[in-house]
Amino acid sequence: MKKIGFIGMGNMGSAIAAGMAKNPQIDAADIFAYDPQGDVLAAKAQEIGFTACDSIEEMLEKVDTVLVAIKPFHIEDVLMPLKDKLAGKTVVSIAAGWSLEKYSQILDPTTRVQYIMPNTPAQVGEGMFMFEQENSLEEEEHQQIMEIFSGMGTVAEVPSHLMDIGMAISGCGPAYIDLVIEALGDAGVKYGLTRDLAYKMASQTVLGTAKLQLETGLHPGVLKDNVCSPGGTTIRGVDALEHAGVRAAFIDAVDAIMKMQGKG
C-alpha cells in the first residue's frame, strides 16, 4: 500500500486516518481524502496532516488504495460511476454490510476488496477490527493492511457469514457499554458523587475489567465470582441485576439487530 485515499471523512474515517498518520510505515503526505463537507475536511486535514482533495476523481488519480468510509446506503450511487477509475486499485471498506460479494456486483473484477468492520474505540487506539475472511487482496497487501490496523487496536478475521453477528457485538457494543457507564454514573450521582468523578470511576472500572479478562483469559463468570464474597455487597448487586434480567436484555439487544439483518 503506497498511497491511500479516503472517500468520506466522518468520525470513523478521521479516526482511522489519524491512526494511519501516526504509523511509521505511512507518510502522512501519502494520505489523501475527499468529503463533500469541505470545511470539515479542511479542518481535519490540518489537524491530521493528510491532503484534502476537491473531488473523488482528483483523489483517485493520486492513490493506489481507497478506503471507503461513507454511509452504506450511499455506496452504490457513489462508486458505480467510478467503476473504471477504481479498476486495478485496492478498496478497503468500513461500510457496514458491504461484503466482498456485494462489491463484486458493482466494481470491476480487477478491483481488489477487503471489508472491515471497525468500532468507535479506534479513535483512541483500542478499536476492534473485523476483517472479512473472504477477500480479493494480494497476500502481501492483505498482511500489510492487517498490520496497519493492528496498530489501532485488535484485528480478527471472521468468515463472511459471521460478519453480521460480529457487527452486532463489537460494532454496536460500545453503545451498550456506554449505557452501562451512564447508568453507573447516575447511581453515583444519586448518592453524592460528582458527575465527572462518577463517570471516571465507571469508565475505568469497565476498562480495567475488560483488560483483566483479555490478559488472563479467564471466563467472565470466574472473574465475577472472584469479586463476590459470601454474604457480601457485590453478590447482592449481582442478584439485583439477575432479577432485572440484565443478561437477557443484552441478548435481546443483539437479537433485535440480527432480526433487522434478517438473521434472527
**Predicted TM-score of the model (pTM):** 0.90
Under the banding of pLDDT at 50, 70 and 90, the label for residue 93 is very high
Specify the higher pLDDT residue, 2 or 158.
158
- Assigned CATH class of 4-159: alpha beta
Inform me whether the pLDDT recorded for 113 exceeds 80.
yes
The cell for 191 is 448518592
Q: Average pLDDT of the chain?
A: 94
- Assigned CATH class of 171-260: mainly alpha
3-state secondary structure of 67: strand
Report yes or no: 148 and 20 within 8 Å, Cβ to Cβ: yes
Give residue limits of the domains in the chain.
4-159, 171-260
Instruction: Give me the pLDDT at residue 264, please.
Output: 66
Task: Classify strands 90-93 and 65-68 as parallel, antiparallel or unpaired.
Answer: parallel
In degrees rounded to 5, what are phi and psi of residue 243? Answer: -65, -30
